[in-house]
Amino acid sequence: MIEFGEEFHKGQYYDDFLDRYATGEQRTRWDTTFERIVLTDAQKELLGSFKREMKVLVLAGTWCGDCVEQCPIFARFAEATDTIGLRFFDRDDQPVMAKALQICGAARVPAVMFLSEDDYPCSRFGDRTLSKYRKMAAELTGAACPTGLGRDDGLTAAVVQEWLDEFERIQLMLRTSGRLRQKHGD
C-alpha cells in the first residue's frame, strides 16, 4: 500500500512540475489558464481563514486538458494561504500512485489526495467537478479530454468554487478533528 505522506515530500511544486514535464506549448496553455483564474475577495478571505495545514497531492499530466483547466486553480488556492502544501506528480512517471488513485477503474487525472498535517488521508477527489460533468453530459459530444481552451460560459467560476468547497470541507474536517484539536490545544 502506498504511503501518501512519504510520497508527498517527493512531489514537485507547481512551477517545478511544469518546468520538468511541460512542452513549450503545454506550458503556455497552463500559464494562460493560471492567469485567467482570479479568486474573488470572498474566496481569498476564506482561504486566508484556514488554520490547519493540509497536504494536497495532485496526480496530473501536462498534456491533459482537464489538468490544464483545474490544476492552476489549486496553485491559486496555495498562493492564498500558507496552510495548503501542494505537490504535483506526473501520472505516467508514477504508475503505483496512478493505480492507487484510480477513478472509475482508470488512472484518470487530475486525481487529488488530501492529507492531514501528520499524513492521514482525509479524502480524494477528481477528475472533474460536478459542473464540468453536467456540461459534458448535456453536450455528449467532443473529445474525451478537451484542450483546456475555448469558450467558458461561466464554467471556470463554477469549477473554481466547487474545488474550493472541497478544500474547505477538508479544512473543516481538520479543524474539527478531536485528535488535531487536542494536539493544537484548541
**Cβ atoms within 10 Å of 112's Cβ, excluding its own:** 24
The whole-number average pLDDT for the span 51-79 is: 98
pLDDT at 147: 52
Here the CATH number for the domain that contains residue 26 is 3.40.30.10
Evaluate if residue 153 carries a pLDDT over 80. no
Q: What is the pLDDT of residue 138?
A: 83
pLDDT tens column, 111-125:
999 999 999 999 999
Q: Quick one: average pLDDT of 131-142?
A: 82
**Cell numbers placing 53:** 495545514
Taking CA atoms, 109 is separated from 77, 120, 135, in Å, by 19, 22, 18
149: pLDDT strictly greater than 50:
no
Q: What is the pLDDT of residue 88?
A: 98
Q: The domain containing residue 129 runs over which residues?
A: 4-184
Q: Residue 50: count other Cβ atoms within 10 Å of its Cβ.
A: 21
**Residue from 61, 78, 105 nearest 13 by CA:** 78
**Locus of grid cell 488521508:** 121
Structural domain total, the chain: 1
* pLDDT more than 90, % of the chain: 88
Verdict on whether the full-model pTM lies above 0.75: yes
